[in-house]
Amino acid sequence: MERNEIDKAAFSGIDILPKLSGTIDKLYYIATRTLYECHRAGVIDIETAALRKKQIEDLCGRFDIDLEIYRRHRAIEEAFGGYRRDLEICGCESCKKMLRLIDGRQLPDCYFK
């Protein structure tokens, strides 16, 4: 479900939580619905609500990026498949280093520059 559709449902107070499959979308829905309810109840003003909504959108956008990085990393891990076993069996320093890089135990030197 698109974020603008989630926004409309949250604004209207329609419970779409069971229809949402992603954790990030569920979090976004709950946060925006709560924000709208707080504004209607007079707990926060419109400027504060707009600022917080922007923060929620930014945070969920970062979560989306993190999730995509995770999915790509998992795909790389799966692609190595049988090669990983070969690297483990070999035991030479190059293979050990490759394994540490693949599973994240070691980061390349250029990462820290």
pLDDT above 60: residue 52: yes
Q: What pLDDT shows up at residue 43?
A: 95
Contacts of 80 (CB under 8 A, 6+ apart): 102
How does pLDDT run across 66-103, given as a tens digit for each residue?
A: 999 999 988 887 887 777 778 888 888 888 888 887 77
What number is the average pLDDT over the span 36-53? Answer: 95
Q: What pLDDT shows up at residue 111?
A: 57
Within 10 angstroms of residue 28's Cβ, the number of other Cβ atoms is 24
How does pLDDT run across 93-113, given as a tens digit for each residue?
A: 888 888 887 777 776 666 555
Q: Which of 62, 59, 69 minimizes the C-alpha distance to 30?
A: 59
